[in-house]
Amino acid sequence: MSAQIEVPTVEEKVSNLKIDDNVAVAETEVPAAAAASPEAGETTAPKKKKKKSKKKKIVGIDTHYPDGVFPEGEWQEYPLEVNSYRTTSEEKRYLDRQQNNHWQDFRKGAEIHRRVRHKAQSSIKPGMSMLEIADIIENSVRQYANADHTLKAGIGFPTGLSLNHVAAHYTPNAGDKVVLAYEDVMKVDIGVHVNGHIVDSAFTLTFDDKYDALLQAVKSATNAGVAASGIDVRLNDIGEAVQEVMESYELEINGKSYPIKCIRNLNGHNIGDFEIHSGKTVPIVPNGDMTKMEEGETFAIETFGSTGAGYVVGAGECSHYSVIKGEHDLKSVPDKAQALLSTIKDNFGTLPWCRRYLDRTGADKYLLALNQLVRAGIVEDYPPLVDTKGCYTAQYEHTILLHPHKKEVVSRGDDY
């Protein structure tokens, strides 16, 4: 999911606002050219009817890999000299093989992710609504996962489709009227899970090449963060590597140059089983955190660049939620809210979800009960995270697995 943020207090949150600066631009549909009328005395042969191309049906990913062995990600050696022995250590390779089923879940999720984002990149066009775009992505995940329950495999968290100055945590609620415009900068953040093992990976989609420097800055910074990560590496050092690359770029628009800044209060994060933000955070600027990465951990390495202030706050209509892990005191929670909580746990457990996913369960008229769960500290709400209005933000992200012998960038693909 989108990056972990340094969260303000509840009183500081801005609620019930609408993100209203996204201009709706209708896509012009171009009809097939009509046949020209023949000149007098000329004859024309009857035209053959063109066959309509059938859309290729998506089948479960297991059909493509019947042996249950999925493609590996990109392998990288660990950056610290002290860990160079791991690459050739037979003992470390043996330990890695003992967790093979665990790794296969991540690789299966990553292969679904690659196919879904390819579909997204080839299908999304200006003029489409956010709801249409979310449906393309999420229905593809569901079809490839082909699971009989949402907790076995499928969507790992709500699809992020944040536009322009909105950096993260926006996905459309039912009735959303926002339409993608040609000049928008959209962060596409997709999560896929298999048995609770979550692949979290994101890219930025634009149609106007004037934003190329912004995208290149963030992509390069993410790759720098991935390269710097590894067993025994201090989190502060990763932030330093990211910032050095990110802030070496600038974006020129209409003759004016904008420095590209790291969004300093957004971070990468540990990924746990059925838990998208678990434990450690990975800064994208130096922050003095000398905590080290450890063998066997999974991390989302994500970076955000901005032409604005480089700092985000929560604002806008909320769509993202998750149940807070742990025991919950339900004594003061109304019955309807308790019933809603049961529905949430049955369908999503501790995975993040959005209102549209609740709608799919058949839940209705649940907003009061949902707000009661938030106020009771049982459900966490994640409003959209916004920088200065009028600026542009971009995001790239990969999931890495810290194997005993090497690092696997499991979500790596030909696209990024």
Structure tokens, 220: 């390069």
Residue 176, φ and ψ in degrees, nearest 5: -60, 135
Percent of the chain with pLDDT over 70: 86
Expressed in percent and rounded to 5, the helix, strand and coil fractions of the chain are: 30, 25, 45
Please, which pLDDT band fits residue 106 given cuts at 50, 70 and 90? Answer: very high
Query: Sign of the CA dihedral 77, 83, 86, 87?
Result: positive
- The three-class DSSP label of residue 202 is strand
What HEC string does 134-183 produce?
Answer: HHHHHHHHHHHHCCCCCCCEEEEEEEEEEECCEEECCCCCCCCCCECCCC
399, 200 Cβ separation under 8 angstroms: yes
pLDDT in tens, 133-172: 999 999 999 999 999 999 999 999 999 999 999 999 999 9
Q: What is the pLDDT of residues 330-341, one digit of tens each?
A: 999 999 999 999
Residue 113 is assigned to a ligand binding site? no
In terms of DSSP H, where are the helices of 351-413?
355-360, 367-375
Which is the CATH superfamily of the domain at 71-313+390-409?
A: Creatinase/methionine aminopeptidase superfamily (3.90.230.10)
Length of the chain in terms of residues written: 416
- Confirm or deny that 148 is annotated as ligand binding: no
Q: How far apart are CA 163 and CA 178, in angstroms?
A: 10
Mean pLDDT of the region 5-24? 40
Cα separation, 328 vs 401, whole angstroms: 32
pLDDT band at 55 (very low <50, low <70, confident <90, very high): low
Q: Tell whether 64 is in a known binding site.
A: no
Task: Spell out a b/e string for 8-44, using b for 16 or more CB atoms within 10 Å of the CB, else e.
Answer: eeeeeeeeeeebeebeeeeeeeeeeeeeeeeeeeeee
Given this model, what pLDDT does residue 70 score? 97
More confident residue, 386 or 100: 386
Question: Which residues belong to the active site?
Answer: 189, 200, 269, 277, 302, 397
Higher local confidence (pLDDT), 100 or 32: 100
Residue located via tokens 């649940």 = 366
* Mean pLDDT over the full length of the chain: 89
Pick the CATH number of 322-380 from 1.10.10.10, 1.10.760.10, 3.30.1950.10, 3.30.365.10: 1.10.10.10
Cβ neighbors of 60 (< 8 A, separation 6 or more) are 143, 144, 145, 146
pLDDT at 89: 82
Q: For residue range 249-285, what is the model confidence (pLDDT) as tens digits?
A: 999 999 999 999 999 999 999 999 999 999 899 999 9
| ∠ Cα 5 10 13 (to 5°) | 70
Those residues with Cβ within 8 angstroms of residue 53's Cβ, 6 or more apart along the chain or in another chain:
none
Supply the pLDDT for residue 4.
Answer: 66
Residues 338, 384: Cα–Cα separation, whole Å: 26
Distance between CA atoms of 94 and 85, rounded to whole angstroms?
14
397 is in an annotated binding site: yes
Say whether 302 counts as a known binding-site residue: yes
Cβ atoms 407, 225 nearer than 8 A:
no
Residue 27 is predicted with a pLDDT of 34
Residue type, 142: R
Residue 183 in tokens: 């000049």
Model confidence band, residue 390 (pLDDT cutoffs 50, 70, 90): very high
- Residue 42 clears pLDDT 50, i.e. is over it: no
Higher pLDDT, 187 or 30: 187
d(C-alpha 212, C-alpha 385), whole Å: 23
8 Å CB contact between 112 and 106: no
Looking up tokens 């610290």 gives 80
Which residue, 108, 265, 260, 124, is CA-closest to 187?
Answer: 124
Domain layout of the chain by residue ranges:
71-313+390-409, 322-380
Cβ proximity of 40 and 240 under 8 Å: no
